[in-house]
């Protein structure tokens, strides 16, 4: 018999709205014994059964809901159904069917908290970040193999967030093996090398696929500045779109080397139009301003400045700083394509930050388009926290 997680009175409201997180402050007590990752029955203070969830005593999120059906059995067959359903949802969308790089499972928004799975060709890379996901590792891996017929599965469960769950980082081959760390995928007609072993996240930022395509559409005959360029995803799409020059800036020398190798993979692109700068973006933006440089498009895709709500104030200052610098570098009629991947910074707050940055830069600007993650990164309506990536395409006078 499963242990019972008893909630404080009134703390069942979020669960009744089908929000999958149960925070420590909502927990009255645990009846019975449960180890990290074990499935527990979630019960309201009045005894009403609510859900079945994975127990995580080390985390402030004490339990993550597997099922809002209190009677549903959480076993190997459960994960087989959930994984197959997630894969089928992608296959139902025409724009995703031919993608060589694709997110197959997007954690809570696919009903699998703590489970990320990205496919690069015949290789699936998994990232398990919760105690429950870690406990069911074998079932998840087997279910992915059956749902995708992939020949290789690699584990990238090495993110710092596992520490919050009391878990050690893990990585390595779970199915098959290969001496090559890189996979080459084609995205929007551009070849990109993905390092599944040492690259960020699972090796590539798949969530920006459609936004990179949008940049290509806008770049013909334009001078483009791409900040925090990583391995050149936005840069190469701008070149593919016909940009007359693309200046790319990142503080990671290895990432820039990979970006230049990616350019070499695409013989159809004019390498002479690409400029690569190994520099701190904040410093480089100020240096470009001092030199009187102007661009038609500035792309700002920084790392996560606010990993949690506690960092929002400091992150807001950083976002305002880089966006003000970006606005100052735009030629008349130019466009700023700016993003935040910080979950603690909501879209409304981010828009306010960008508006304040425009005022500081003395620019009049208008939102042309709101930008978001690609369709393989869905957001459950009951879980708005899943919409971590937000962006604005802004045009100045």
217 lies in the same domain as 162: no
Last residue of a domain, one of 179, 214, 243: 179
98 lies in the same domain as 130: yes
The domain total for the chain is 3
259 lies in the same domain as 364: yes
207 lies in the same domain as 346: yes
Query: What is the residue range of 246's domain?
Result: 184-396
**CATH number of the domain where residue 19 is located:** 2.30.130.10
Q: Would you call 341 a catalytic residue per the annotation? A: yes
145 lies in the same domain as 231: no
Specify the pTM: 0.94
19 lies in the same domain as 94: no
Hey, which bits of the chain come out as E strands? 4-7, 21-23, 27-31, 39-43, 49-55, 61-67, 101-106, 115-120, 123-128, 152-155, 172-175, 182-187, 190-195, 223-227, 245-250, 274-278, 295-300, 330-340, 365-372, 390-396
194 lies in the same domain as 314: yes
Strand partners, 118: 103, 125
Task: Name the DSSP letter for residue 11.
Answer: T
Last residue of a domain, one of 45, 67, 89: 67
110 lies in the same domain as 255: no
227 lies in the same domain as 153: no
Q: Which of 150, 227, 229, 341 is catalytic?
A: 341
371 lies in the same domain as 223: yes
Instruction: Provide the residue-wise pLDDT of the chain in tens; the chain has 397 residues.
Output: 789 999 999 999 999 999 999 999 999 999 999 999 999 999 999 999 999 999 999 999 999 999 999 999 999 999 999 999 999 999 999 999 989 999 999 999 999 999 999 999 999 999 999 999 999 999 999 999 999 999 999 999 999 999 999 999 999 999 998 889 999 999 999 999 999 999 999 999 999 999 999 999 999 999 999 999 999 999 999 999 999 999 999 999 999 999 999 999 999 999 999 999 999 999 999 999 999 999 999 999 998 875 666 677 778 899 999 999 999 999 999 999 999 998 888 899 999 999 999 999 999 999 999 999 999 999 999 999 999 999 999 999 9
**CATH number of the domain where residue 191 is located:** 3.40.50.150
As a whole number of angstroms, the distance between CA 52 and CA 22 comes to 11
**CATH number of the domain where residue 101 is located:** 3.30.750.80
| Burial bucket for residue 265 (CB in 10 Å: 0-12, 13-18, 19+) | middle
237 lies in the same domain as 340: yes
238 lies in the same domain as 128: no
């Amino acid at each position: 018999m499963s242990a019972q997680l008893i909630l404080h009175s009134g703390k069942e409201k979020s669960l009744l709205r089908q929000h999958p997180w149960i925070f420590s402050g909502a927990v009255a007590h645990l009846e019975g014994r449960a180890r990290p990752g074990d499935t527990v029955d979630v019960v309201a203070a009045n005894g009403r059964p609510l859900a079945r969830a994975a127990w995580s005593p080390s985390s402030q999120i004490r339990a993550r809901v597997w099922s809002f059906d209190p009677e549903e059995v959480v076993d190997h067959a459960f994960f087989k159904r959930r994984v197959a359903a997630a894969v089928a949802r992608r296959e139902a969308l025409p724009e995703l069917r031919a993608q060589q790089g694709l997110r197959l499972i997007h954690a809570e928004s696919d009903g699998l908290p703590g489970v990320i799975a990205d496919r690069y060709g015949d290789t699936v890379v998994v990232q398990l970040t919760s105690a429950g996901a870690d406990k069911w590792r074998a079932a998840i891996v087997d279910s992915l193999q059956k749902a995708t017929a992939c020949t290789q599965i690699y584990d990238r469960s090495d993110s710092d967030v596992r520490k919050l769950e009391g878990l050690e980082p893990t990585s390595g081959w779970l199915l098959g093996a290969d001496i090559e760390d890189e996979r080459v995928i084609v995205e929007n007609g551009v070849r990109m090398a993905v390092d599944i072993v040492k690259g960020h996240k699972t090796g590539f930022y798949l969530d920006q696929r459609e936004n990179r395509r949008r940049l290509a559409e806008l770049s013909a005959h334009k001078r483009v500045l791409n900040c925090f360029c990583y391995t050149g995803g936005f840069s190469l799409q701008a070149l593919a779109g016909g940009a007359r020059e693309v200046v790319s800036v990142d503080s990671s020398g290895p990432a820039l080397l990979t970006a230049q190798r990616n350019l070499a993979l695409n013989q159809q692109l004019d390498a002479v139009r690409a400029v690569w700068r190994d520099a701190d973006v904040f410093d480089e933006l100020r240096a470009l301003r001092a030199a009187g440089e102007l661009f038609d498009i500035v792309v700002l895709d920084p790392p996560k400045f606010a990993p949690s709500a506690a960092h929002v104030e400091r992150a807001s200052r950083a976002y305002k700083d880089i966006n003000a610098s970006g606005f100052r570098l735009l030629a008349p009629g130019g466009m700023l394509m700016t993003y935040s991947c910080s979950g603690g910074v909501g879209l409304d707050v981010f828009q306010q930050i960008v508006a304040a940055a425009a005022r500081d830069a003395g620019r009049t600007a208008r939102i042309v388009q709101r930008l978001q993650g690609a369709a393989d990164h869905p957001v459950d309506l009951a879980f708005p926290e899943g919409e971590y990536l937000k962006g604005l395409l802004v045009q100045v006078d």
